[in-house]
Amino acid sequence: MTATPSAGCAHAVTERGEPERADYRGAFAHAPLPLAVVDGEGLVVDANQAFAALVGAPPDELAGRVAADLVDLASDARTWHTYREVLRGRQADLRCTRRLKHPDGHSLWARITVSPMPGSADRDGGGTVLLAAADISARRELQARLRHVQMHDPVTRLPNRNLFFERLAAALEAGAYDDSSTGRVGLCYLDLDGFKAVNDTLGHRIGDRLLAAVAERLTRCADLAGHGRTAPPLVARLGGDEFALLVEESTGTEELAGLAEATLEALREPFDLSGQRLSVSASIGVVERRASGATATGLMQAADTTLYWAKTDGKDRWTLFDPERNAHRMTRQTLSSSLRPAVDRGEFVLDYQPLVGFDDEDVRGVEALVRWQHPQFGLLTPNRFISLAEEDGSIVQLGCWVLRTACRQARRWQLAHPEREPVFVSVNVAVRQVWDSDLVADVAGILAETGLPPRLLQLELTESAVMGSTGRPLQALKALSEMGVRIAIDDFGTGYSNLAYLSRLPVSALKLDGSFVRGFQYEEGETQGNPADAVIVEAMVQLAHRLGLTVTAECVETAAQATRLRRIGCDTGQGWLYSRPVAADRISVLLGEVNPGPESPKEPGVRPSAGRTRPR
Ligand code: C2E
Ligand code: MG
Ligand code: MG
C-alpha cells in the first residue's frame, strides 16, 4: 500500500484511536497550565490537576460547577458579556486578568483565556470551550516592583518625579471633571537653601542622609496636614534638593500657606546626622489654582517662578504665586529680548519737555525723553526699559541714537528760529554710556555731524553716576566740559547731595528732584508745606549759585510751586505747569508762539504752553 503522509496519519488514528486519546487525556490531566473544559451552559465538564490546585478544589469535585464562579468572570459586566458570547459561539475568545482568592487565604493573579474547542460547535454555533487560567502572580509582582523602582527615589524612598507628574496629571483631571471634588489643586515646591555647600563640605554621604531626614520631616508634615482629608498631600523628591508637596482637592490658598509654614517650621529644627548637627532652611514656591484649565507644565512653571521669588526675596520663606508679578517678569523678559533689534528697527521716538526761565517764562531749553513704540505693548515710558537697556548694554547704542536725534533736532530749531535765542537740548546719559563707550568721541562726532554748537547741548547724569568719579569717567566729564558741553546733575537731592564735592567736578547745572518740589505745593503761610524743605532747598540753591551752577526745578505742577521756586532763586522750571513732554513739532509751534517774530510782538509773561501742549 502506498500511503501519503496524511493518509498514513489517518491510518494511525484509526488503528491506535483509543490509546492515543488516553495519551491526550494524560497530557491534559498533568499539564502544568491550569485547564478546564466547559460546556455551552458554562458548567465544568472536566478540569486538570493544575486547575484544581489553582482554585483550591479536588479535581473530581469540579465537574458540574459553574466555571464563571471559579475564576470570577461574572463580577464585571463587560467580561461577563464577552464570556457569554464566546459560549454561544458569537465571539472568538475572551482574555482577561483576574485576582483570585484561594480557599487557603492567599490571593493570586490569573490570566484567563476562554476559546472554543475545535470541532465542538453545536448547531447554534455554541459548544464546549477550553478555559485556561495561567498563574501570573510572580510576573505581576515583578512588574509592581519594577514600577516601584521606576517611580521612587532610592535615597529618600519618596515618590520621584515620574510618579509625582503622574499623580499631578490625575489630580488635575479629577479636579476638573469630578463634581464631588473642590476642583482645585495646590503645590508647595521646595528647595533647600545652601544644600550644595553641605554636599561640598561634608560629602555626598552626609548630603544623602540629610535629604532622607528632610524627606521624613516632610512626610510627617504631610501626614499631619492629611488629618481630616481623604488622603495626605503627596510628598515627592523631584531631583537634587527639590521636593514637592501636592495637595489634591485643595480648599484654597490658606490651606497651602498653612502647609508651607508648617514645613518651614519643621525644617528649621536642626538635624542630627550621626553626631553632625546641621541646620538648614528651605524656600518654597506656593501655587494654588482651579484644576480645570490648568496643565501640569503650567503649574510647574508657576511653581518654579514662585520658588525663584522666594529665593531672591531672601530665602527661608514661602512665597505665593502672584500673576501680576509674573506678568511683569514676562514683559521684562520679552522687552529685554526685543530691545536690541528694536534699536535697529527704529522703534524709539523722542519727546521733548521745555525748561522755562522763572524770570520771563521763556523756553531756555528742552529735555529729550525717549519712548519706545513697541509693536505689541504700545508706547512705553523709559522707566519700563532704560534699566533693562543698562543691564544688557544696549543703552550704549540707544543712547547714541538719542544723542544724535536730539542734537539734529536742536540744530533744526536753531536754524528755523534765527530771530530768538536758540534753545539747548538736554540729553540723559546713563552711567554705562560713560564707562562702556567712547562718549567724548561720540559727542564730538555728533556735534560735528549735526552742526550743533556745543553750548546748546547739555548732558544729564545722576548724582550717583558722577559721585566718586575718578579715572575714565572723570576724564570724560572734563573733556566734554572743555568742549563747551554743559553737564547737569539730574534728580539732585535723591543721592549723596554733596555739593562741596560736586564743585570739584566740571558740572554747570543742578536739576532739583521732583520730591523737593512736591513740598512746595502750597502758598507761603499755608501750614501744609514743610518749612524744613523750603529752608533746605533755599540753602542748596544759594550754595549752587555761589558755586556757579544754575538750578532747574523738576516736576513743577502748580503756579504756587512756581512762585515759591522763583522766590527761592531757582533759575528754570520744568513740569506739567508749562508742558508735558511732547513731540518735536509741538515744540516748534511753541518756539514760534513764544517768539512770534517782528510782525506780532511777544506779549510779556505769556506762559509758553500752559494747557496747550498735550502729551502724545
Ligand atoms: P528725568 O530725567 O528725571 O526726566 C523727568 C521725568 O519727569 C520724565 O519722565 C518726565 O515725563 C517727568 N515729568 C516731567 N514733568 C513732570 C511733572 O510735572 N510731574 C511729574 N509727576 N512728572 C513730570 P519720563 O519721561 O517717564 O522719564 C523718566 C526717566 O527716564 C527720566 O527721568 C530719565 O532718567 C530717564 N530717561 C528718559 N529718557 C532717557 C534717555 O534717553 N536716556 C537715558 N539714559 N535715560 C532716559
Ligand atoms: Mg533727566
Ligand atoms: Mg530728573
Rounded average pLDDT over 73-87: 94
CA of 604 to the centre of ligand 3 (A): 29
Which comes out higher in pLDDT, residue 428 or 174?
428
State the pLDDT at residue 4. 40
CA of 402 to the centre of ligand 2 (A): 13
- Give the ligand 1 atom nearest the CA of 402: 41
Count of C-beta atoms within a 10 Å radius of residue 377: 14
Q: Which residue among 384, 388, 428, 463 has the greatest number of ligand 1 atoms within 8 angstroms of its CB, and so is best to mutate?
A: 428
Rounded average pLDDT over 529-552: 83
Q: Residue 482 pLDDT more than 60?
A: yes
**Grid coordinates representing 282?**
528651605
Label residue 362 left, alpha or beta by phi (over 0 means left) and psi (-120 to 50 means alpha): beta
pLDDT tens figures, 396-409: 999 999 999 999 99
State the pLDDT at residue 12. 41
State the pLDDT at residue 422. 97
CA of 575 to the centre of ligand 2 (A): 12
What is the share, in percent, of the chain residues with pLDDT greater than 90? Answer: 64
Indicate whether residue 207 lines ligand 1 (CB < 6 A): no
Q: Which residue among 352, 366, 369, 489 has the greatest number of ligand 1 atoms within 8 angstroms of its CB, and so is best to mutate?
A: 369
Question: How far is residue 99's CA from residue 72's CA, in Å, rounded to a whole number?
Answer: 8
Domains and CATH numbers, the chain: 25-141 (3.30.450.20), 153-321 (3.30.70.270), 332-592 (3.20.20.450)
Which comes out higher in pLDDT, residue 593 or 96?
96
Q: Which residues contact 487 (CB under 8 A, 6 or more apart)?
A: 458, 459, 461, 466, 477, 480, 481, 505, 506, 507, 508, 509
pLDDT tens figures, 39-54: 999 999 999 999 999 9
- Give the ligand 1 atom nearest the CA of 351: 25
Q: How many CA atoms lie within 13 A of 577 on its CB side?
A: 26
Q: Residue 598 pLDDT more than 60?
A: no
pLDDT tens figures, 485-520: 999 999 887 766 677 777 778 999 999 998 888 877
Taken as a whole, the chain contains a residue count of 616
**Grid coordinates representing 199?**
554636599
Question: How far is residue 332's CA from residue 322's CA, in Å, rounded to a whole number?
Answer: 15
Quote helix, strand, coil % in the chain, to nearest 5.
Answer: 45, 20, 30
Could you tell me the end-to-end alpha-carbon distance of the chain, in angstroms, rounded to an integer? 114
Give the confidence band of 597 by pLDDT, cuts at 50, 70, 90.
very low
State the pLDDT at residue 495. 64
**Grid coordinates representing 57?**
478544589
Give the confidence band of 431 by pLDDT, cuts at 50, 70, 90.
confident
Question: How far is residue 565's CA from residue 155's CA, in Å, rounded to a whole number?
Answer: 71
DSSP for 95-156 reads EEEEEEE-TTS-EEEEEEEEEEPTT---TTS---EEEEEEE-HHHHHHHHHHHHHHHB-TTT
Question: How far is residue 407's CA from residue 366's CA, in Å, rounded to a whole number?
Answer: 11
Indicate which residue's Cα is closest to atom 21 of ligand 1: 555
Rounded average pLDDT over 520-543: 70
Average predicted confidence (pLDDT) for the chain: 87
pLDDT tens figures, 250-297: 999 999 999 999 999 999 999 998 888 899 999 999 999 999 889 999
Give the confidence band of 528 by pLDDT, cuts at 50, 70, 90.
low
Return the SS3 of 216. helix
State the pLDDT at residue 609. 41
State the pLDDT at residue 496. 61
Among 6-10, 390-394, 418-422, the minimum mean pLDDT is found in 6-10
Indicate whether residue 555 lines ligand 1 (CB < 6 A): yes
Q: Residue 148 pLDDT more than 50?
A: yes
Strand 318-320 to 378-380 pairing: unpaired
Note whether 419 and 597 are within 8 A (CB). Answer: yes
CA of 488 to the centre of ligand 2 (A): 9
Cα–Cα nearest to 523, from 479, 573, 561, 484: 561
Rounded average pLDDT over 537-558: 92
Rounded average pLDDT over 589-597: 66
Indicate whether residue 560 lines ligand 1 (CB < 6 A): no
Note whether 147 and 83 are within 8 A (CB). Answer: no
pTM of model > 0.95: no
* Beta pairing partners, 107: 101
